[in-house]
Amino acid sequence: MIDHLPTGSDAMKISLTIALLVFTVPLFGQQSLQLQSPDKDLTLTVELDAEGTLSYALDFKGRSVVQPSALGFEFNRPEAAVSTFQLLDSEVTTSNTTWKPVWGEVAEIQDHHNELFLELTDTGGSDIRIDLRFRVFDDGIGFRFEFPEQESMHHFIIGNEFTEFNMAGDHKTFWIPGDYDTNEYLYETTPISGINSMEVAQAESDIAVQAIIEGNAVQTPLMMKSNDGLYINIHEAALVNYPVMHLDVDSRSFKFTSNLTPDPVGNKAYLETPSVTPWRTILVSDDARDILSSKMILNLNEPSKIDDTEWIEPQKFIGVWWEMHVGKGTWDFASGNHAANTENVKKYIDFASEHGFDGVLVEGWNEGWEDWFGNWKEDVFDFVTPYPDYDIEALTDYAEEKGVRIIMHHETSGSVTNYERRMDEAFQFMKDHNMNAVKTGYVGRIIPRGEHHDGQWMTRHFIRTAEKAAEYQIMVNSHESSRPTGVHRTWPNWFASEAARGNEFNNAPKYGMTPEHQTILPFTRLIGGPMDFTPGLFRFTLNDYVRERSTVVRTTMAKQLALYITMYSPLQMAGDLPENYAPYMEAFEFIERVPLDWDDTKILLAEPGEYIVIARKEKGTENWFVGGITDEIARDATIDFNFLTPGKTYNARLYLDGSNADWKTNPYSMIMQSTKITSETELPVRLAAGGGFAISIELED
Ligand code: NOJ
Ligand code: CA
């Protein structure tokens, strides 16, 4: 087991009092507790006023981040509104440990935090006991509610959680509309006072299934920037048995309140004592780069539940996939242009083998695609029956011969009951055919009918899937799942999710994908975990195929390479068709070489909605890879290579936007050159509008 708490003094928990906690009981019975971060930049204040109303507030270097914000619950069973509390006891501890992720952006992660644990009881008549645990890190805070074992409450139902995030100003906010079924919206940037989620969500026509939240609501991770330069991110960690938290917006007082995804009868969560909620998280810094390098969400998740993780290996893959999206072939067999046929899949296997890829994803291999979409039908796929032109036995042998694996595709079309019934058989079928990775999909309305993608039932399904897949030593990449909350620490075989608008939306008929969106994703969606963004599209005019719509990929060529660095994932697809790579093999070399697992990561430059430049050190080597992207605005950047080992010489290969490159007018223009660099090199780089750059760096021997 790699994910572990080290032993010895490092892991020691020390009970502290005075140094960390200020505890006062002033006049009028008000109680106030304060706790600071290890570096003392953050101060958490928890208050219980004379009426018993509980609130918390957060300051960063003396500036208000979260103003007093109330906490409370409504229970549907036992029926009770809990909004006033009595403090029974409190404890402060500190912890400083390190642990090694199975895969990731860095080899080792430090978890240094101070903790405040409050034992509370309802004073409104129910006597329900609720505990509250705060952890204050240098880069933010997390807090969760805990329901201890108690005589008067065993099974219980959450009707509502009232967790407020009362912001100190009308911050610039990067948001997508609150929706219980999809997170595939394009990011909007407005002040909090300008958030109009319903209008934006109703105008959206690229998304298959929506459940727009009434009123005004947004999704997390929610990224903000204050007028005086504070970067603030609200999300949650360790969502394992609870619904997704969305946020209702009070645009006049700049306040967000938790809005939990309901089940078909309007309940939010069914729990049993003892149990806990996910952590509510707030990241803060005056440097945007700290938000991207934060490991707080991972630190708030449980260590790996998989003891032997040897079989979990990052994967690079291509797929019989984009050709269906652009209309060259189809998923279904009946319409006569079936892409997943034996001969075509062999071509992909050849390509993967030739270029050292691990896998070939094959979509549309199995019966059911004739009526998979939009019918809310329970039995569509059985996950084990190939179409007649897909010779699975021959392809299994062929792939094995060529040293690559076929990646399974389980599109459920939202019929999750059907998938769960067949899952053992489906995973066994994969093992029998030498497959160890699956892409799952949840396009459509969920069955059990009335459930949402973001509800507690589906949260549990995603965890069950990761657990069951682990039993079969299978790695999972989930599409249309709820957005991640760091659970990949606990289930490191759940590699990545889509759970946002990815590269495939370049083909969407209306709004598609913007360069700006891609500079926001690392500050929002990726805060919770890796994304299957599917970079590496090399052919930008998509109406070259049979499609009537004139969709284009909004990018430059160099930027498609940069995305392998700026969108971290242990699983990366080269999204395009082999024939589209053929004319650009020199550029493709970067995709061939780019690693998926890292010993170190340096965020060099970052501003949400504008630009991101990241350097990463390949696991187990002295090689570095750098990627940078910009929004619709061309920018000049200087890359300081002071992260390299002093006194050593490195060979760098540069993939830069050409001098006239532009995502709209000249996207293919790219300069490739080799140069020698050292830790003292400062390299000026120009990023074209909608463009970027990539650099691979190898130690000279
Ligand atoms: C949506 C997924 O995001 C996409 O990648 C996949 O090809 C289709 N569903 C079909 O399952
Ligand atoms: Ca999708």
Ligand 1 pocket test, candidate residues 380, 411, 453, 506, most atoms within 8 A of CB:
411
Taking alpha carbons only, the member of 567, 564, 566, 592 closest to residue 578 is 592
Give the pLDDT confidence of 31-59 residue by residue, as tens digits: 999 999 999 999 999 999 999 999 999 99
Give the pLDDT confidence of 512-546 residue by residue, as tens digits: 899 999 999 999 999 999 999 999 999 999 887 87
Ligand 1 pocket test, candidate residues 209, 320, 363, most atoms within 8 A of CB:
363
Give the pLDDT confidence of 73-102 residue by residue, as tens digits: 999 999 999 999 999 999 999 999 999 999
**What's the gap in Å between 479 CA and the centre of ligand 2?**
6
Residues lining ligand 2 (ion), CB within 5 A?
479, 498
Q: Is the pLDDT reported for residue 21 higher than 80?
A: no
Three-point CA angle 669, 670, 676, nearest 5°: 160
Give the pLDDT confidence of 189-220 residue by residue, as tens digits: 999 999 999 999 999 999 989 999 999 999 99
The reported pLDDT for the residue numbered 450 is 98
**What's the gap in Å between 355 CA and the centre of ligand 2?**
27
Three-point CA angle 57, 62, 67, nearest 5°: 25
- Say if CB 486 and CB 528 are below 8 A apart: yes
Q: Is the pLDDT reported for residue 182 higher than 80?
A: yes
Q: Is the pLDDT reported for residue 10 higher than 80?
A: no
**What's the gap in Å between 184 CA and the centre of ligand 1?**
12
Assign 516 to helix, strand or coil.
helix
For range 91-116, the mean pLDDT: 98
Strand-pairing partners, residue 222, are 234
Sign of the Cα pseudo-torsion (493, 499, 505, 506, in order): negative
**Which atom of ligand 1 sits closest to the CA of residue 325?**
7
- Taking the C-alpha atoms of residue 469 and residue 495, their distance in angstroms, rounded to an integer, is 11
Q: Which of 188, 451, 498, 504 is catalytic?
A: 504
Check residue 53 and report its DSSP letter.
B
- Say if CB 606 and CB 288 are below 8 A apart: yes
pLDDT band, residue 247 (cuts 50/70/90): very high
Give the pLDDT confidence of 624-633 residue by residue, as tens digits: 999 999 999 9
**Which atom of ligand 1 sits closest to the CA of residue 321?**
7
Strand-pairing partners, residue 602, are 615
The reported pLDDT for the residue numbered 11 is 35
Q: Is the pLDDT reported for residue 1 higher than 60?
A: no
For range 375-401, the mean pLDDT: 98
- Taking the C-alpha atoms of residue 536 and residue 440, their distance in angstroms, rounded to an integer, is 21
Which ligand is nearest to the Cα of residue 368, counting in written order? 1
**What's the gap in Å between 478 CA and the centre of ligand 2?**
9
Total-model pTM: 0.96
Percent of the chain whose predicted confidence (pLDDT) is above 90: 93
Which ligand is nearest to the Cα of residue 363, counting in written order? 1
Taking alpha carbons only, the member of 52, 57, 46, 50 closest to residue 26 is 50
Ligand 1 lining (C-beta closer than 6 Å): 321, 363, 411, 441, 443, 479, 498, 504
Give the pLDDT confidence of 549-600 residue by residue, as tens digits: 678 899 999 999 999 999 999 999 999 999 999 999 999 999 999 999 999 9
Location of structure tokens 């909090």 = 192
- Say if CB 31 and CB 85 are below 8 A apart: no
Ligand 1 pocket test, candidate residues 320, 321, 478, 504, most atoms within 8 A of CB:
504
Q: Is the pLDDT reported for residue 331 higher than 80?
A: yes
**What's the gap in Å between 492 CA and the centre of ligand 1?**
23
**Which atom of ligand 1 sits closest to the CA of residue 441?**
11
Which ligand is nearest to the Cα of residue 501, counting in written order? 2
The reported pLDDT for the residue numbered 19 is 46
Q: Is the pLDDT reported for residue 354 higher than 70?
A: yes
Taking alpha carbons only, the member of 572, 591, 592 closest to residue 319 is 572
Contacts within 8 Å (CB) and 24+ apart, 192-199: 192/167, 192/224, 192/249, 192/251, 192/254, 193/251, 193/252, 193/254, 194/251, 195/249, 195/251, 197/249
Three-point CA angle 495, 499, 504, nearest 5°: 100
Helix-strand-coil percent breakdown of the chain, rounded to 5? 20, 35, 45
- Taking the C-alpha atoms of residue 644 and residue 332, their distance in angstroms, rounded to an integer, is 51
The reported pLDDT for the residue numbered 16 is 44
- Produce one character per residue of 503-520: b if its CB has 16 or more CB atoms within 10 Å, e if not: bbbbbbeebbbbbbbbbb
Q: Is the pLDDT reported for residue 23 higher than 90?
A: no
* Alpha carbon distance, N-terminus to C-terminus of the chain: 34
The reported pLDDT for the residue numbered 24 is 54
Q: Is the pLDDT reported for residue 230 higher than 60?
A: yes
pLDDT band, residue 152 (cuts 50/70/90): confident
Assign 35 to helix, strand or coil.
strand
Ligand 1 pocket test, candidate residues 182, 413, 415, 443, most atoms within 8 A of CB:
443
Assign 526 to helix, strand or coil.
helix
Taking alpha carbons only, the member of 418, 411, 331, 410 closest to residue 377 is 418
Strand-pairing partners, residue 259, are 246
**What's the gap in Å between 479 CA and the centre of ligand 1?**
7
- The answer to whether the bond into 221 is cis (omega within 30° of 0) is yes
**Which atom of ligand 1 sits closest to the CA of residue 324?**
7
The reported pLDDT for the residue numbered 77 is 97
Check residue 662 and report its DSSP letter.
B
What pairing do the DSSP bridges indicate for beta strands 275-276 and 54-60? unpaired
**What's the gap in Å between 465 CA and the centre of ligand 1?**
18
* Catalytic residue list contains 323: no
**Which atom of ligand 1 sits closest to the CA of residue 409?**
11
- Say if CB 141 and CB 281 are below 8 A apart: yes
What average pLDDT does the structure give for the chain?
A: 95
- Taking the C-alpha atoms of residue 218 and residue 228, their distance in angstroms, rounded to an integer, is 23
Residue whose CA lies nearest to ligand 1 atom number 2: 479
Q: Is the pLDDT reported for residue 13 higher than 50?
A: no
**What's the gap in Å between 480 CA and the centre of ligand 2?**
5
Taking alpha carbons only, the member of 237, 235, 263 closest to residue 247 is 235
**What's the gap in Å between 440 CA and the centre of ligand 1?**
9
- Kindly report which listed range (151-155, 458-462, 559-563) carries the lowest average pLDDT score: 151-155
- Domains in the chain: boundaries: 13-168+233-299
Give CATH for domain 13-168+233-299: 2.70.98.10
Taking alpha carbons only, the member of 270, 273, 268, 73 closest to residue 154 is 273
- Taking the C-alpha atoms of residue 451 and residue 177, their distance in angstroms, rounded to an integer, is 19
Give the pLDDT confidence of 280-295 residue by residue, as tens digits: 999 999 999 999 999 9
Residue 303 structure tokens: 């260590």
What residues contact 8, with CB distance under 8 A and at least 6 apart?
Answer: none
Give the pLDDT confidence of 504-514 residue by residue, as tens digits: 999 987 778 99
**What's the gap in Å between 632 CA and the centre of ligand 1?**
27
3-state secondary structure 278-340: CEEEEEEECCHHHHHHCCHHHHCCCCCCCCCCCCCCCEEEEEECHHHHCCCCECCCCCCCECC
Give the pLDDT confidence of 643-667 residue by residue, as tens digits: 999 999 999 999 999 999 999 999 9
Percent of the chain whose predicted confidence (pLDDT) is above 70: 96
**What's the gap in Å between 320 CA and the centre of ligand 1?**
11
Location of structure tokens 């650099």 = 695
**Single-letter residue type at 266:** G
**Single-letter residue type at 562:** A
The reported pLDDT for the residue numbered 510 is 79
**Which atom of ligand 1 sits closest to the CA of residue 480?**
3
Residue whose CA lies nearest to ligand 1 atom number 11: 411
What does residue 255 show for φ and ψ, rounded to 5 degrees?
-115, 135
- Say if CB 612 and CB 519 are below 8 A apart: yes
